[in-house]
Structure 1
Amino acid sequence: MIEKKSEQQKIVVDLTELEKKYSDLKTHFGEENIQIDYYGDSFNKIRITHIPSGKIQLGEKHNTQIENAVQALEKLKMKLISKPKLEIKSNSILVEFLENPIDLQEFKRKKGKHFTTSVTGGTEYYFTPKIQDSIFYVYYYPDLDKEPIDIDQIIVFKSGKNKHTYQDKTEVIIEIRVFNEDSDLGKANLVGLSKTELESEFGNDYLTFNNGIAYSNKNKILTIELDNSKVKSFRYIKLNTENVDQDLIRQIVK
């Protein structure tokens, strides 16, 4: 009798662990990025489609839906993590953009004296070189032709003797936040472009979030907020990791 009760408790524990794994895996992918279909005589087999990449993974080995779902999601996760990043690397335009989205010194020259600056703090996901006596600055660039609610910003990492000067040429771009069209940005003048134009330029190998898409390569990410399939705003960030997933994207865009 005791042995039978112990077996029942083990089944309950195993089921609870499976449900937690299933929930964690769905969170990892983002529920909006996966389509789940059940099939088979008892509808216990599962087919999971990863919408951004089009990858499909089946789960058929076990007798229950939850076991097959966990199996399929785990295999899909490994497939996506281990796949070579050839698609994104083959898009030289995207890679070049993420490496150098703007010529900062030329941009500052065009803006002249129309800016303000302040010291700012970093975030837990910012790329932060291990240099003593360093600091983050934010540059604000208001649109002088209108009164925008949101002002474009560039956040830089600065160190050395010129760290408190605007003319510092050794500063490193950490983040760019853009809410307005601005031809001075050059190739980074993305606001107003359609999603189709973005895909034509950068490809369609991206992750999605509630109201936008995210491109990445190595430790650089470009999150784009869309409104009616047009770019409403974007953020470019140099990260402290190359592991870009849904959890990190949610942390960035929240």
Structure 2
Amino acid sequence: MLSKKSVKLSSCHASYFEKTANDASATILMVHGNSLSKETFLPQLESEQLDQYRLIAVDLPGNGDTEVNSKTDTSRFSIKGMADFISEFAGNVIDEDLILMGHSLGGHLCIQAASDIDGLKGFFLMGTPPLTTSEMPAAPFNDHPAMGLLFKDELTREELDILADSMHNGSADASKKIKNAFSKTDPTLRSSLGQSVATGDYKDELRELVSIGIAPALVLGEKDELINADYVKEIAESTGWQNSPQIIPEAGHCVQLEASEAVNSLLAEYISFVDSRES
């Protein structure tokens, strides 16, 4: 049964969806991308394919229904602030082992938070090229007009169209959900996030993954305009599950919205892999 809940954390009340399951074989914590929301995981939360799992999708600070007083504290919008939010949320809501499922920025935040989360069993990362503070093998992101807009607070209608169009491959439903999420985002979030990224105040994600020792599923839409597929492929060959990226045909950046059945099947397959490592 799917329900909407809230939990009080040190900085805010975190809003989240939860779908319970009797004798759940795994718990999945879903973390959305920049200026999106928990609603982008509804195709997973409402799917019969994932009925055997406990599913939780949370709104990050300043996104969706998780409100933060940004007039007095924008630190919650930094990479570290949002990673701390995820680890605190997990510690308050989840008692059992879990898999972190992150989309785009949400995937980066999952890696950033991982060392502070107990019982972590796996990473399912969509549209997330793990970053390193060392020399990168290639540019992780494509040179696309939308990239700069992801760190701009006030967007014109034309700019919002550019952003939304960059995140899907011709899906009107995905476009509507993306634009609705952007309209609900705190107006100071994107520039604060951009300042945090510019300072380099984040962990080396490749080093974190190697240190944790869990092979991540690196999922990428075949038509993703924002992510450099060659970069993801090179990282996956050395670090990823099955030593290759998991490419979703004909999907754009928001694979969970555009190709939910393929994503859900792949997630179930990854969970089986994680479980097999412990048997």
TM-score by length of 2: 0.21
Q: Per residue, is there more helix in 1 or in 2? A: 2
TM-score by length of 1: 0.22
User: Which structure has the greater CA radius of gyration?
Assistant: 1
Q: Per residue, is there more strand in 1 or in 2? A: 1
- Bigger RCO of structures 1 and 2 (CA < 8 A, at least 6 apart): 2
